[in-house]
Amino acid sequence: MSDEVQTQSAFTPRVFSGIKPSGGLTLGNYLGAIKRFVDMQGSGIETIYCVVDMHAITVWQDPSELRRATREIAAGYIASGLDPEQSILFNQSQVSAHAELGWIFNCVARVGWMNRMTQFKEKAGKNAEKQSLGLYAYPSLMAADILLYHATQVPVGEDQKQHVELTRDIAAKFNHDYKVDFFPETEPVIQGAGTRIMSLRDGTSKMSKSDVSDASRINMTDDADKIAKKIRKAKTDPDALPSEAAGLEGRAEARNLVNIYASLQGKTLEEVLPEVGGMQFGTFKPMLADLAVDKLAPISTEMARLMDQPDEIDAILIKGAEKAREIAQPILERTYDIVGMLR
Q: Which residues are identified as catalytic?
A: 123, 206, 209
Q: Which stretch binds ligand AMP (CB under 6 A): 194-202, 248-256, 288-296, 331-339?
A: 194-202
Closer to ligand TRP by CB, 154 or 306: give it: 154
Q: Considering the rule CB under 6 A, would residue 255 count as an interface residue with ligand AMP?
A: no
Phi/psi for 236 (5° steps) reads: -145, -170
Cα separation, 111 vs 162, whole angstroms = 15
16 binds, among ligand TRP, ligand AMP, none (CB under 5 to 8 A by kind): ligand TRP
Q: Cα–Cα distance between 32 and 51 in angstroms, integer? A: 16
Q: Is the separation of the CB atoms in 105 and 338 below 8 Å? A: no
DSSP reduced 3-state for 236:
coil
> Does residue 98 belong to the site contacting ligand TRP (CB under 6 A)?
no
CA–CA distance, 66 with 191 (Å, rounded to integer): 30
CA atoms within 13 A on the CB side of 123: 17
In the bound state with ligand TRP, the residue whose beta carbon lies nearer, of 160 and 199, is 160
Spell out, one character per residue from 51 to 70, where the chain touches ligand TRP: x when CB under 6 A holds, - when not.
Answer: -x--x---------------
Of 14, 15, 18, 184, the one binding ligand TRP (CB under 6 A) is: 18
Near ligand TRP by CB under 6 A: residue from 82, 108, 147, 156:
156
Q: How far is the CB of 130 from ligand AMP (least distance, A)?
A: 21
SS3 call for 187? strand
Q: In degrees to the nearest 10, what's the CA dihedral of 74, 77, 78, 84?
A: -80
Report the DSSP beta bridge partners of residue 50: 18, 90
Whole-angstrom Cα distance, residue 189 to residue 200? 25
46-51: strand order across its sheet: 87-91, 46-51, 14-19, 153-155, 187-189
Mark 79-103 as b/e (b = at least 16 C-beta within 10 Å).
Answer: bbbbebeebbbbbbbbbebbebbbe
> CA neighbours within 13 Å on the CB side: how many for 181?
5
With contact defined as beta carbons under 8 Å apart, do 82 and 37 qualify? yes
87 binds, among ligand AMP, ligand TRP, none (CB under 5 to 8 A by kind): none
Residue from the set 26, 58, 87, 160 that interacts with ligand TRP by CB under 6 A = 160
Closer to ligand TRP by CB, 134 or 277: give it. 134
Size of the site for ligand AMP (CB under 6 A): 16
Q: Which stretch binds ligand AMP (CB under 6 A): 151-159, 173-181, 228-236, 310-318?
A: 151-159
Alpha-carbon distances of 206 from 78, 127, 192, 211, 307, rounded to whole Å: 25, 21, 16, 9, 27
> Does residue 145 touch ligand TRP according to CB under 6 A?
yes
Which of ligand AMP, ligand TRP, none binds 207 (CB below 5-8 Å, type-dependent)?
A: ligand AMP
Phi-psi region of 149 (alpha: psi -120 to 50; beta: other; left: phi over 0): alpha
Q: Does 84 bind ligand AMP (CB under 6 A)?
A: no
Q: Does 139 bind ligand AMP (CB under 6 A)?
A: no
* x-or-dash string of contact with ligand AMP, 27-46, rule CB under 6 A: -xx--xx-------------
- The residue within the footprint of ligand TRP, chosen from 51, 74, 108, 146 (CB under 6 A), is 146
Interface pick for ligand TRP out of 154, 200, 220, 264 (rule CB under 6 A): 154
Q: Pick the stretch among 121-129, 192-200, 249-257, 294-302 that binds ligand AMP (CB under 6 A).
A: 192-200
Q: Site residues (CB under 6 A) for ligand AMP?
A: 19-20, 28-29, 32-33, 156-157, 159-160, 194-197, 206-207
Q: Site residues (CB under 6 A) for ligand TRP?
A: 16-18, 20, 52, 55, 142, 145-146, 154, 156, 160, 163
